[in-house]
């Protein structure tokens, strides 16, 4: 791990970090869900793998301090998590673990929960290190915990776009709407919200689920949401989970793998909004987590 961190330091160098930060943008995507068990972390990991094939270099931030599903799905045991960064026990480069599939990720650990209670000087210190992520990636995928809590809301407010994962199950649709209602109605989120329908039996079923959410959101909250795509019900995905291999690596020709690839293409082709610049998202990070 230390060798990896040292190699990253040598690769970019402090001058290159500053140069890159001034010139490049980092797209921030937050993935959330109203309830657990809808495939949110699988979506984050497989989207990240698809993005790599599409020429991006994403990093996943596992912002679920309770379950740490990302490292389980990737079959890794990171040496450091965000709590070590908060305590000054490691640098941001030490925090980035590259999985056996080449997909880098950051383990949040208990540090995600701690971020709700940090004094301003520590938020400033962390944000200065997080700013250097812009030298390592052009896309940060934040995998939040299921449900509604302060940390989920804060990472949704930080993002360029928020993807809400739902399934055709009535409880998932209801809980998905509850999350959207909280983000828009209670916290006045102005970030683009997109819905991904997971485990759909067909495109028609996915559209039906989305339109249910679209109708109630527009009718009661007076805010439109967008359709982000769907991932079909796929036996290959369930087999890959049992084998502890992300489906995008398990079988690139699986229906779900091709869906992740297509969703990635749609994301990259969406030019409706500019990605958040490093200076902007870092200042937003300070503002959001200082309250």
**Residue 143 reports pLDDT greater than 70:** yes
**Residue 85 reports pLDDT greater than 80:** yes
Q: pTM of whole model > 0.85?
A: yes
Handedness of CA 100, 106, 111, 112 (dihedral sign): negative
**Residue 18: its pLDDT value, please?**
41
Q: In the chain, what percentage of residues exceed pLDDT 90?
A: 63
**Residue 106: its pLDDT value, please?**
94
- Residue 270 is encoded by which pair of tokens? 């969406």
**Residue 137 reports pLDDT greater than 60:** yes
Contacts with 248 (C-beta within 8 Å, 6 or more apart), sequence order = 45, 46, 49, 50, 257, 260, 261
Q: What angle do CA 28, 114, 80 make, to 5 degrees?
A: 75
Which pLDDT band holds residue 131 (cuts at 50, 70, 90)? confident
**Residue 164: its pLDDT value, please?**
98
DSSP string, 1-16: -HHHHHHHHHHHHHHH
Mean pLDDT of the chain: 87
Least confident range from 34-38, 50-54, 151-155, 267-271: namely 267-271
Domains defined along the chain, listed by start: 34-284 (3.40.50.300)
**In degrees rounded to 5, what are phi and psi of residue 133?**
-60, -25
Contacts with 37 (C-beta within 8 Å, 6 or more apart), sequence order = 146
41-59 pLDDT, tens digit per residue, is 999 999 999 999 999 999 9
**Residue 284: its pLDDT value, please?**
87
Sheet containing 192-200, strands listed edge to edge, beginning at the edge strand earlier in sequence = 96-98, 104-107, 58-63, 139-144, 27-32, 161-166, 192-200, 226-232
């Amino acid at each position: 791990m230390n060798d990896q961190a040292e190699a990253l330091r040598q690769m970019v160098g402090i001058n290159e970090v500053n140069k890159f930060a001034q010139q490049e943008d980092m797209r921030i995507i937050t993935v959330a869900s109203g309830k657990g068990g809808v495939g949110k972390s699988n979506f984050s990991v497989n989207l990240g793998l698809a993005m790599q094939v599409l020429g991006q270099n994403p990093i996943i931030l596992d912002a679920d301090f309770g379950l740490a599903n990302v490292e389980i799905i990737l079959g890794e045991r990171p040496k450091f998590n965000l709590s070590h960064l908060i305590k000054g026990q490691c640098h941001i480069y030490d925090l980035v673990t590259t999985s056996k599939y080449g997909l880098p990720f950051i383990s949040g650990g208990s540090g995600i929960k701690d971020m709700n209670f940090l004094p301003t000087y520590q938020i400033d210190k962390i944000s200065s290190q997080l700013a250097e992520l812009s030298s390592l990636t052009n896309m940060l995928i934040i995998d939040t915990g299921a449900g509604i809590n302060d940390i989920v809301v804060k990472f949704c407010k930080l993002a360029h776009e928020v993807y809400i994962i739902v399934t055709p199950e009535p409880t998932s649709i209801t809980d998905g709407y509850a999350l959207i209602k909280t983000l828009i109605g209670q916290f006045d989120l102005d970030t683009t919200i997109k819905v991904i329908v997971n485990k759909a039996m067909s495109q028609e079923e996915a559209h039906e689920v989305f339109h249910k959410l679209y109708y109630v959101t527009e009718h009661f909250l007076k805010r439109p949401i967008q359709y982000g795509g769907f991932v079909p019900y796929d036996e290959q995905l369930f087999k890959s989970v049992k084998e502890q291999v992300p489906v995008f690596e398990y079988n690139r020709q699986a229906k779900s793998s091709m869906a992740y690839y297509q969703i990635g293409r749609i994301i990259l082709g969406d030019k409706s909004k500019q990605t958040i610049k490093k200076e902007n998202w870092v200042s937003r990070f300070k503002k959001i987590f200082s309250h």
